[in-house]
A and B are shown apart, each in its own frame.
Chain A
């Protein structure tokens, strides 16, 4: 079955840039989405179609997808960005979520 692998954790200082990777076989041939989930809350879509932001998502969130890796980048990271992040793609009629990355803002 298809797998999407993310680093378990990423640490970033306030104001710096955080990059979260998502690796899967030929992921660049699919569309990748990214979700943010804060403790006790439901996930929120922050990126769709590899690099597009839904209404209301700050511009500091951006995405890219090429080859076997999709990347979520958070520029000028703020304390409120501390959360779990999940990538997601579709593979043959099955939605696959990544393993998840905990972003800590130190």
Chain B
């Protein structure tokens, strides 16, 4: 599975959009991009995933560049409860081996 690079931390004002970047320059054609988050020491929570088209669900939007070497997770109206560590993961769906989380981005949403 391709490795990812994320900034260690980011700040965002409450009510504003939070844009979390992820670099995955070595991604291969059959690898998907997944985003999870972990609030404090709770179990990680799935947010969204995609292959090459932009995706949106009730939690967030995922924007993947045309060359697929990077992506951005967008939380449209961040709240204090969105303060968490966000993990970008790139992997092949059928590859159950080694689900690699990396160190993620700590998002601090401030009042």
A, B bound: no
